[in-house]
Amino acid sequence: MGDPRLQEIASPVDVFDTLELHVLIQDMRDTMAACSGVGLAAPQIGVGLQVVVFGMARNPRYPEAEPVPDTVLINPVLTPLGEEQEEGGEGCLSIPGMRGLVPRYKQLRYQGFDQFGGVIDLTVGDFHARVVQHECDHLQGILYPMRIRDLRKFGFTDVLLTDTASPG
């Protein structure tokens, strides 16, 4: 947090299934795994492209969070379904050691492409929808603290008690 590259609007990917793109995605997956993250956006490793990766197996530490399939999402378009938002705990690999309570749309349609140019068009809810919104915010230069309504609900992970899993 504070790096200007995290505040920029990311550029769309023009060409799919290139060595450059596959290397970027592998780098992102390695970074995410090394940090035990649930997701990562390309600007978090200094690359200003509209590429996010996310996924989480069922985790006994977070029994409330449903598993999220391993996904590569490129040039995403998000469409909230309904006005309903829900507050939930989030962290971010770009803001280590901190968490906050962030409002997100509960139901969401997201469209985009995978790394081969295959079309992605899904409707999801709850934690899956939260992860997608968090990661795609990175492509607009938005970090989750900018969405927190009550800054008393933002603090150090060791101090603040929230029981939901953290996106990347």
Min separation Cβ 104 and Ni ion, Å: 13
Q: SS3 string of the chain?
A: CCCHHHHCCCECCCCCCCHHHHHHHHHHHHHHHHCCCCEEEHHHHCCCECEEEEEECCCCCCCCCCCEEEEEEEEEEEEECCCCEEEEEECCCCCCCEEEEEEEECEEEEEEECCCCCEEEEEEEHHHHHHHHHHHHHCCCCCHHHHCCCHHHEEECCCCCCCCCCCC
**Which range binds Ni ion by CB under 5 A, 9-17, 48-56, 84-92, 149-157?**
84-92
Name the residue whose CB lies closest to Ni ion.
92
Give me the least distance between CB of 40 and Ni ion, in Å please.
Answer: 7
CB of 52 to Ni ion, least distance (A): 9
- In the bound state with Ni ion, the residue whose beta carbon lies nearer, of 21 and 42, is 42
> Would residue 135 show up in a list of annotated catalytic residues for this protein?
yes
92 near Ni ion, rule: CB under 5 A: yes
Residues that bind Ni ion (CB under 5 A): 92, 168
Which are the catalytic amino acids? 135
